[in-house]
Amino acid sequence: MASDSLSFPRASTRGSAFESASPRSVAWQLLRALGSLKITVVMFLAATFLLLVGTLAQDEKNLPEVKAEYFNSWLARVPFADFAPVTVFGETNLPGWFPFPGGGTIGLVMLVNLFAAKATRFYVAAAGRRLVWGTVISLLGALLTVGVILTGHRTDGLQGRPPVDYDTVWRMVQGGGAVLAVGLAAAAWNSRQRLVAGSLWSGAAAVAAVVGLALFGGDAWRMNDPGLRIMWQLIQSSVASIVLLVGLVMVFGIRGGNVLIHVAVGLLMIGQFAFGDRQIEERISLVEGQTTSVAYRTDETELAVIDPTDPVDDRVTAISGRLLRARVDGEPIAVEALPFEIRVVAYFPNSSVVRVGPVAPNPASAGLGREWLATGRPPEGGTSSKTNIASAYVQLVERGTGRDLGTHLVSQFLNDQGRIFMAAAADECDTVEVGGVPWRLALRFRRALKPYSMRLDDVRRIDYSASETPRDYSSYVTFTDRSTQAEQKGRIWMNNPVRYRGETFYQSQYSTVDLGDGKVGEMTGLQVVENAGWLIPYVACVLAFWGMLFHFGGTFLRFADRHERESRQAGTTAAGAVNADTASRSRRDRRRPDRRAAAARSAPATTAAGRWLPPVLAPLLAPLLALGLVAAIVLPRATPRRPVADAFDWPTAGGIPVMHEGRVKPLDSVARTMLQLLGNRSSVVMPADATAEPRGTIPATQWLLAVMAGSDWVSRAPVFRIDAFEVLDLFDLDRRQGHRYAAAELESGRPALRKQVESLRQIPPEQRTFVQKKFAEIDQKLMAYDLIRFAYDTPEMPRPAGAGDEARKAVFDQVRRLMQGARMIDDNNPPAAIPPLGASTGSTAGTASASDTSDAPDTGPTGRWQALYPAVVTALVGRVAGGREGQPAFQLNPAILPFTDLLAAVEKQPAEFNSAVTAYGRAIAEMPEVKAVAGKAVFEAWLNAFNPTEIAKWLYVLATILCFASFLVGQPRLNRFVWWMLVGLLALHTFALAARIYLTGRPPVVNLYSSAVFIGWACVLAGLGLETLHRLGIGNLVAALSGGLTLMVAYGLDSGDTMHVLQAVLDTQFWLSTHVVTVTLGYGATFLAGMLGTCSIVHRLWGRMTGRPAADPAARMVDDRLYRMTYGVVCFALFFSFIGTVLGGLWADDSWGRFWGWDPKENGALMIVLWNAAVLHARWDKWIGPRGFALFTIGGNIVTAWSWFGTNQLGIGLHSYGFTSGVLMLLASYVASQLILIALGLVLIPRAASGPRRTG
């Protein structure tokens, strides 16, 4: 795909080329210049930089401002202050700015470049009948593509609902998978290339396994209906894409896939420019039972002048907020329908409104403004979640008479309370009577009257059990056409929008509102989007998938063919060399018998090994030793320890199921999570000078049970980590090694801490200083610790102090106080160890779909997991009320008394404790909630003790050391040993991922921790594949390094429960299985390419340091192999990152109604796509050689680190759920190391020494 450069024909003696060339030739040369890949590369890099600065700007500006100033502008004005975000560096005042091409300019240049490149470099490869049929099939594919896009507006109801039932779609998925498996197997059977055949057989086996589970796994493996709804879009898009691809291949030959890729990119860009950036986003907020025909826009305001005299509908004259802003102290606004002119005295896009007295200076002379004063304030944006509150002072002048009707304050604070504060209270508005009409004035969000009405019948929020994490929001609505009165009911829930009359409704928000008179109502927030091109991203994604699959598949076939030829040539050469060497030795040995004896004495180790191993087993020595080493280290850790008769059986106690943070965990996981929260440790280390038991290292389970039991030693256990000197000063403590302190040491300083925390209540979290954040942090730790102590304290039973009504009343007061205490504990969601008698109302393991429990009734306290205190109180109340009219018969929870006995035995002898643990296990074994999760709880407790990722991390480090040793000593057998060792580690790594999938019921990547584990696994797998192909030791090295580094990153991210439940918007198996996994593979492949680029640069630097000649054949062979390996990995990186990013846009469109929202995480993913595309296009244009390619891929490490972690440091955007703290310095250090490596490569490696350039 190399293109010509931007150079023009040189001048001749008869004049310049332009003088002699025809206008058509000049236009052709100009078109070729516009289609240059150099322009493509420059635009990719410019877009990457613009995405970076536009993302950084979001720390202070709101998204509409950023879009207007950066992404949709022709010329962006980039302040230097953007590179010092407030969320990282605090308030800064960097002056100056510089111009940079805006998103509009970059997009236009890329579109022109795309069309010019295709027009000048892609030639028709067919002729005659093939060309005719290819054109016909291409047109058919294009028509099918357009047809798929138009079907998005076929009917109202659930958006994208297939025209057939979901069971039919599921059978289509199963049948398509079976056909794909058979096709891959047939292709593998007919392939003559071992590499291609092996890859195809592997793919066929994987697809066949999935199809087998889909066919015979029952409902557990059936895709849910929301997933099948999306699959239908992908199926019909695939049919159109394959038809179009066949036609393009017939016309353009092997470049047909490339053409399809660029068709997809062009379609995506045109769709975003034509529809995405111009779509209208509105909102509807309703309380249950309310009906409305009005939607509003939160990005625009209007001054509504309302005539309420019509008995049916108010007559509204709306004046845009932009016009108000433009007319401040200018010409008055005159509207023919109004009897007065409006002079804008002041307009504030954001304001503070405070109540004032009658003598305070005030611009208002009439109405509410005499009691309220509005002053301007900076607009909200960036990390602030507050809403801008617009206000204005307007003077009304009667038309004709010129009579002053007063200066009025109009403010959203007063006029738009229901939208600003999500409240049900009535808005307060000024009324001006002119000509007998009481005109009302209201500054509010811009309204849009709809030709239909919507009634909210019901809104439901489902939380995970023992958690405030929402699992699902659902709004049940009724649409009514205002002209025909036809009704349509619908359910709108997360990731499942509903269409009606060309608009799509998305579940966006849920809140409770005060209705007055002590009543509380439920309010839903719906996003309303009108986007005629919502299916374009789906179609473009599928077009790009099949185009990339064909294009990079062809690249893989050419690589496999070359690899096969090189392998045969190398084998032939080696065999010839061996035969020649054998013949030469034979002749020498016949002449010199003494040399024959010396050769026998110096025979290699394999000859010695062969004396005690049969010849068949000699090649198995390295695998047996390597796998034996891994097994010798892993198996002892994996084997559960048998309980000792005279010792506490803490492991068994650690397997007790407990509901915490929305899922059932073993007690051991709860204890580790709490210790991580308090002190960043998973165990307790008692002081060395401790005089009383217990001493040494205390298991997490023992500590938590001791806290629940109220053991005295717990207050002396140093579990609270405090780093800030200011916090230590508050508690009057000295800095000590380890930075951990006991609860007893903090008790005296808690009154002072409460005062500090009280002063923070009025300061938003994002505006707090470092010290204030640390005060709030230690307060939260102490509250979490106290919550467990109070939740497992045994309540004092009410005792009557006599007889008669007074004594009875006193008992009821005691019961009421106990119930209030139990309710407070339940509301704070402590770890709940007492299972419910029946099935609970929430999720027990966080694995089921939200739609499965959306209609589940609330069975009250007896249907929920509870801590001991509220469980005892619930039992007490049930005993008193049981059997009465309307109340069920009392039944004591069988877990309460055994658990009480278990806590009482914590301080007793081991035999009594172990007996209490066994008795509690028997007591809860048959409870429905426990039977469903007991096995997983025990397995998770065992997994915590086993900790396979920790073992793998250090074994990867050992493998890395052995890799370097094999390079130094030049021993291929050691390299083979490392390969087999990494195979064993990959099996261990795979087990760790599979265990997480089993426990969570989710795909392998659900948070940052799991992404690090998964990326490491993918890199190890790829590294082993590269080593199998090239056998240089480089594949082993990058596998070991990647595995070790990513697991170290995962260890740093392990600050609590790494298998936590997901927010409602993330609770979707389909998108977690597709977008998240695919984009994470893109991260991993880009990271792996950077590792290979690093190896390439280090190899060249090492050769320069050791004085190795630049033309050394062995060194050039290694450089060439590294270059080819890196290129292949970058191709995979582009494929996965592009498809994953587009799938993420589809998920966003399904959740929020916008394919692309310029969110920091979205921008980071797109930066990776653009960077990989720039690297490949620069190579295809021969603009860079091996050295430049390697340096580019190292730069990809920086882009990946920014997207993976840097965007999270901003703490903004729809993906800010992934926020991590404390990694900024590590991130900066990593980026600095990559920049230093790039600088060394540029300075110390001459361009001529970078080796030959390749074009394919």
pLDDT tens readout for residues 597-627: 444 444 444 444 445 566 666 678 888 999 9
Alpha helices by DSSP H, 416-535: 417-420
Q: How many helices and strands, by DSSP H and E, does the chain display? A: 41, 24
pLDDT attached to residue 570? 67
pLDDT attached to residue 123? 79
- Report the 10 Å Cβ neighbour count for 309: 11
Same domain, 289 and 302: yes
Q: Which helix (H) or strand (E) holds 917?
A: helix 910-924
**Rounded percentage of the chain residues whose pLDDT exceeds 70:** 88
Average pLDDT over residues 1133-1141: 92
Helix (H, G, I), strand (E, B) or coil at 350: coil
Same domain, 95 and 106: yes
Q: pLDDT higher for 857 or 287?
A: 287
Choosing from 498, 530, 562, the residue where a domain stops is 530
pLDDT attached to residue 571? 63
Is 448 among the domain residues?
yes
Is residue 780 predicted with pLDDT exceeding 90?
Answer: yes
Q: How confident is the model at residue 178 (pLDDT cuts 50, 70, 90)?
A: very high
Is 404 among the domain residues?
yes
Average pLDDT over residues 465-483: 87
* pLDDT tens for each residue of 411-461: 999 998 878 876 666 788 999 999 889 999 999 999 998 999 999 999 998
pLDDT attached to residue 972? 81
Is 946 among the domain residues?
no
Token duo for residue 717: 């256990």
Angle at 295 between CA 292 and CA 298, to 5 degrees: 140
pLDDT attached to residue 222? 86
Of 4-8, 301-305, 640-644, 801-805, minimum mean pLDDT range:
4-8
Q: How confident is the model at residue 1055 (pLDDT cuts 50, 70, 90)?
A: confident
* pLDDT tens for each residue of 672-702: 999 999 988 889 998 887 777 788 899 999 9
User: Backbone dihedral region of 19: left (phi > 0), alpha (psi from -120 to 50 degrees) or beta?
Assistant: alpha
Average pLDDT over residues 134-141: 94
Is 596 among the domain residues?
no
Average pLDDT over residues 9-21: 46
Of 110-124, 593-607, 1055-1069, minimum mean pLDDT range:
593-607
**Are the beta carbons of 506 and 492 closer than 8 angstroms?**
yes
Same domain, 373 and 307: yes
Token duo for residue 262: 């660029």
Rounded Cα distance, 708 and 714, in Å: 10
Q: Are strands 351-355 and 404-411 parallel, antiparallel or unpaired?
A: unpaired
Rounded Cα distance, 705 and 896, in Å: 15
Q: pTM value?
A: 0.86
Tokens 């979490």 sit at which residue?
A: 784
pLDDT attached to residue 359? 76
Rounded Cα distance, 40 and 107, in Å: 11
* pLDDT tens for each residue of 357-390: 877 788 999 999 999 999 998 887 665 667 889 9
Rounded Cα distance, 891 and 874, in Å: 11
Tokens 């759920």 sit at which residue?
A: 1217
Compute the mean pLDDT over every residue in the chain, rounded to the nearest whole number: 85
Tokens 């696994």 sit at which residue?
A: 1017
CA atoms within 13 A on the CB side of 1142: 27
Q: Which helix (H) or strand (E) holds 1082?
A: helix 1077-1105
Token duo for residue 394: 């307007």
**Are the beta carbons of 978 and 966 closer than 8 angstroms?**
yes
SS3 content of the chain, % helix, strand, coil (to 5): 60, 15, 25
Q: Which helix (H) or strand (E) holds 299?
A: strand 291-307
pLDDT attached to residue 122? 74
Is 949 among the domain residues?
no
Choosing from 530, 550, 578, the residue where a domain stops is 530
Backbone angles phi, psi at 156, to 5 degrees: -85, 175
Q: How confident is the model at residue 17 (pLDDT cuts 50, 70, 90)?
A: very low
Q: How confident is the model at residue 323 (pLDDT cuts 50, 70, 90)?
A: very high
CA atoms within 13 A on the CB side of 155: 7
Same domain, 228 and 299: no
Q: What residues pair up with 720 in beta bridges, in sequence order?
A: 741
Q: How confident is the model at residue 1255 (pLDDT cuts 50, 70, 90)?
A: very low
E-assigned strands of 482-580? Answer: 487-493, 498-500, 503-516, 519-530
Choosing from 278, 304, 332, the residue where a domain stops is 278
Token duo for residue 1089: 């390419």
- Report the 10 Å Cβ neighbour count for 304: 21
pLDDT attached to residue 765? 76
Measure Cα distances from 1111 to 412, 669, 1190, 1243 in Å. Answer: 75, 58, 19, 20
Average pLDDT over residues 1045-1053: 90
**Are the beta carbons of 383 and 765 closer than 8 angstroms?**
no
Q: Is 1017 exposed, middle or buried (0-12, 13-18, 19+ CB in 10 A)?
A: buried
Is 114 among the domain residues?
yes
Average pLDDT over residues 773-796: 92
Contacts of 1085 (CB under 8 A, 6+ apart): 1018, 1022, 1129, 1130, 1132, 1133, 1136, 1137
Tokens 């966080």 sit at which residue?
A: 846
Rounded Cα distance, 1027 and 1036, in Å: 6
Of 1059-1063, 1130-1134, 1208-1212, minimum mean pLDDT range:
1208-1212
Q: pLDDT higher for 1055 or 1124?
A: 1124
**Are the beta carbons of 129 and 256 closer than 8 angstroms?**
no
User: Residue-wise over 1139-1164: b if at least 16 C-beta within 10 A, else e?
Assistant: bbbbbbbbbbbbbbbbbbbbbbbbbb
- Report the 10 Å Cβ neighbour count for 520: 10
Same domain, 286 and 312: yes
Is 977 among the domain residues?
no
Is residue 239 predicted with pLDDT exceeding 90?
Answer: yes
* pLDDT tens for each residue of 449-459: 899 999 999 99
Contacts of 1162 (CB under 8 A, 6+ apart): 1141, 1144, 1145, 1148, 1156, 1215
Is residue 950 predicted with pLDDT exceeding 90?
Answer: yes
Is 1028 among the domain residues?
no
Q: What residues pair up with 193 in beta bridges, in sequence order?
A: none
Same domain, 168 and 58: no
Of 224-238, 1040-1054, 1119-1133, minimum mean pLDDT range:
224-238
Same domain, 103 and 184: no
Is residue 854 predicted with pLDDT exceeding 80?
Answer: no
Same domain, 190 and 320: no
**Rounded percentage of the chain residues whose pLDDT exceeds 90:** 44
pLDDT attached to residue 464? 84
Of 343-347, 886-890, 968-972, 1005-1009, minimum mean pLDDT range:
886-890
First-to-final CA distance of the chain: 8
Backbone angles phi, psi at 735, to 5 degrees: -65, 135
Q: How confident is the model at residue 580 (pLDDT cuts 50, 70, 90)?
A: low
Q: Is 423 exposed, middle or buried (0-12, 13-18, 19+ CB in 10 A)?
A: middle
Same domain, 312 and 406: yes
Q: Is 1232 exposed, middle or buried (0-12, 13-18, 19+ CB in 10 A)?
A: exposed
User: Which domain, by its residues, includes 481?
Assistant: 280-530
Is residue 1175 predicted with pLDDT exceeding 80?
Answer: yes
Report the range out of 277-291, 722-736, 827-841, 1213-1227 with the highest average pLDDT.
Answer: 722-736
pLDDT attached to residue 135? 93
Q: How confident is the model at residue 91 (pLDDT cuts 50, 70, 90)?
A: low
Backbone angles phi, psi at 481, to 5 degrees: -70, 125
Q: Could you give the number of structural domains in the chain?
A: 3
Q: Cis omega before residue 836 (within 30°)?
A: no
Same domain, 355 and 457: yes
Same domain, 156 and 91: no
Is residue 581 predicted with pLDDT exceeding 70?
Answer: no
Alpha helices by DSSP H, 287-425: 321-326, 412-415, 417-420
pLDDT attached to residue 496? 85
Same domain, 437 and 490: yes
Q: pLDDT higher for 1069 or 139?
A: 139
